[in-house]
């Protein structure tokens, strides 16, 4: 089943959670992570074409609800996403999301999609794509600190894209580590359960931190990080939420997506506003250096940016062609005469 052109649309393609999972299995999980990374990198290479603004956030004591919009002039996309760390105690997800991809020329939506699963995929793909540029070339061991909903995606992305073959895993909840290790069985990784974050970092060339507590936490202390390591700090960021001791930041070369957003929500909120950082798109284009020595500590202060969601939705839209992995959503009023919306309503009067 092919997708309609925006000008001929009588329905909006909608990708449900069930169809998103079916699409991932249809493509192959690791292959899709790699393809998503390529889409994201391609859009970072044309970064100046995008409208860019920090996400619009509504904060509460329980969590945050955000809108993440962007456009490249031809297409427009936004994601609705929440972050509520206490949800898991009630059997709910910490993060849920949906997104829309539309045609700038008409304003018509071209795709509405779940993005809870897709965000996990695109976050992992972004992490590994960035590590292709910043991590040590021979990196094979990763520490995975925080073994919640994102951890398996991160591990498999680093395996598929960067060649990681061993993961040292730690979570303050041993059941979370047991869950992640069970899920990752049979995926070709050597998995090691560790007793502490420091233990997990021993011998790792890459350290991924992925925790969700909404507080100024110290998941990594300065003594845990050694020369030459790459840190992938991806935990659910917001003002007042950090994972790294400030001394780690002072020893690291820091790379970010969009500084005005990262300075408010990322690890660098702990530093002066003029502390130097490098934008990733400049590294990807070769305009700025990434990893320059074997002893350099590189830090990806990841908070997630709308361009990555744009890329993910663009990828899903392309992959839906010639599949039936979507529903036809009756979202747009479509009168025969575009000036006669009332007439369409009147003719719909029940018999």
Residue 335: which of 317, 320, 348, 318 has the closest Cα?
348
144 to each of 33, 52, 201, how far by Cα in Å?
A: 18, 31, 8
- On the CB side of 350, CA atoms within 13 Å amount to 0
| β-strand pairing of 166-170 with 97-103 | unpaired
Cβ within 8 Å of residue 8, ≥6 positions away = none
Asked about 237 being catalytic, the answer comes back as yes
Let me know: does 307 contact 50? Beta carbons within 8 Å. yes
Residue in 237, 301, 324, 337 annotated catalytic: 237
* The two structure tokens encoding residue 111: 């795709």
Separation between Cα atoms, residue 130 and residue 290, nearest integer Å: 10
Separation between Cα atoms, residue 287 and residue 201, nearest integer Å: 31
Burial class (CB in 10 A: 0-12, 13-18, 19+), 34: middle
Residue 96: which of 112, 118, 127 has the closest Cα?
118
Burial class (CB in 10 A: 0-12, 13-18, 19+), 179: middle
Q: Which residues pair with 243 in a beta bridge?
A: none
Active site residues: 237
């Amino acid at each position: 089943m092919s997708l309609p052109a925006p000008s001929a649309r009588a329905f909006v393609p909608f990708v449900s959670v069930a169809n998103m999972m079916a699409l991932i299995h249809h493509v192959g999980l690791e292959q899709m992570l790699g393809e998503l990374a390529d889409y994201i990198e391609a859009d970072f290479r044309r970064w100046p074409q995008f409208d860019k603004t920090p996400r619009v956030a509504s904060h509460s004591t329980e969590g945050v609800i955000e809108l993440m919009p962007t456009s490249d002039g031809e297409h427009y996309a936004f994601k609705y996403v929440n972050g509520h760390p206490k949800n898991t105690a009630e059997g709910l997800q910490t993060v849920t999301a949906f997104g829309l991809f539309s045609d700038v020329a008409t304003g018509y939506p071209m795709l509405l999609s779940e993005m809870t699963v897709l965000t996990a995929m695109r976050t992992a793909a972004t992490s590994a794509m960035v590590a292709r540029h910043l991590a040590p070339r021979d990196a094979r061991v990763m520490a995975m600190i925080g073994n919640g909903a994102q951890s398996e995606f991160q591990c498999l992305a680093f395996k598929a894209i960067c060649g990681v073959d061993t993961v040292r895993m730690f979570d303050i909840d041993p059941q979370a580590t047991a869950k992640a290790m069970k899920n990752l069985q049979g995926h070709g990784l050597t998995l090691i359960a560790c007793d502490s974050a420091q233990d997990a970092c021993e011998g790792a060339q890459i350290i991924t931190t992925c925790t969700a507590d909404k507080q100024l936490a110290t998941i990594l202390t300065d003594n845990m990080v050694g020369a030459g390591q790459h840190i992938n700090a991806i935990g659910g960021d917001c003002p007042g939420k950090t994972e790294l001791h400030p001394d780690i930041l002072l020893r690291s070369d820091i790379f970010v997506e969009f500084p005005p957003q990262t300075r408010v929500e990322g690890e660098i909120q702990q530093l002066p506003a003029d502390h130097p950082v490098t934008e990733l798109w400049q590294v990807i284009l070769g305009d700025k250096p990434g990893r320059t020595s074997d002893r350099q500590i590189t830090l990806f202060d990841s908070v997630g940016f709308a361009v990555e969601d744009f890329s993910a939705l663009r990828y899903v839209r392309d992959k839906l062609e010639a599949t039936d992995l979507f529903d036809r959503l009756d979202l747009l009023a479509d009168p025969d005469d575009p000036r006669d919306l009332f007439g369409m309503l009147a003719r719909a009067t029940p018999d």
